Amino acid sequence: MFKRQPTQIIAHRGSKGTRPENTLLAFQAALDAGADGIETDVQFSKDQQLVIMHDERVDRTTNGTGLVQDQTLAELKRLDAGSHFGSEFAGTKIPTLDEVIQLLIRDEFTGVFNLELKTNKIHYDGIEQALADYFTRQPVPFRLVFSSFRAQSIITLRSLYPQAEYAKLFKTAGRQARRMQRQHLVGGLHPDIRWVKAHRFWLPHVQLRPWTVNSPADMAYCLRHHFAGLITDYPARAVALRTKIQGGNEA
């Protein structure tokens, strides 16, 4: 009998709901929770170092202020990226991409690593080439998925590093995402969960991994539809709910 693959639980910026987002603490917590994947964001520092940060500014998640692109890696490393979440996380640092990759390698991670290029608001000139160069130098033992809201970043990086998987992020631009999928520019679609529920009759047979799936109702929706994955701030909760809904190996 045909056995469906279980829905992958992908940790959004690590275990964002329980640890300071996009820090090594958050990624380790996601791995400890049994997440099948890690989702995170990459930007360029002023000195063109690949750093892990969601917002274009550091204000929300650190004790600093200003744009990521206006600060060197050394300056970014002096910031506290944990205190905003809780005093017990004071002193937590912004990680580099390489620090995250080395953590995953040490943990013998073999799941999905979904790296979002944060180029939709600020296009970091050369970041696609830098990523292609980095992963050419650093082989990884896990599935590498690049995603972006900016279609051109996907197209550019795919031409430089075709061996990875690619996915289109979108909130409402479903037509563009579907067109890219038909043109084989991406293999996966990463839509806003609100868009998915509003288009429930449009559930393509592709790698559909909605974000950000945090409520039990939304988690159950994705699990019952056997989506390829779901991206959540609470990977431990999603893993537990998957066991209840999909079991260990559902037929």
Q: Catalytic amino acids?
A: 12, 54
Q: Are 223 and 204 in contact (CB under 8 A)?
A: no
Q: Cis ω on the peptide bond leading into residue 92 (within 30° of 0)?
A: no
Q: Do the beta carbons of residue 81 and residue 71 sit within 8 Å?
A: no
In angstroms and rounded to an integer, the radius of gyration of the C-alpha atoms of the chain is 18
* Beta pairing partners, 54: none
- Integer Cα distance of 142 and 168 in angstroms: 20
Q: How far apart are CA 135 and CA 131, in angstroms?
A: 6
Q: How far apart are CA 213 and CA 30, in angstroms?
A: 15
Q: How far is CA 156 from CA 56, 119, 146, in A?
A: 21, 12, 11
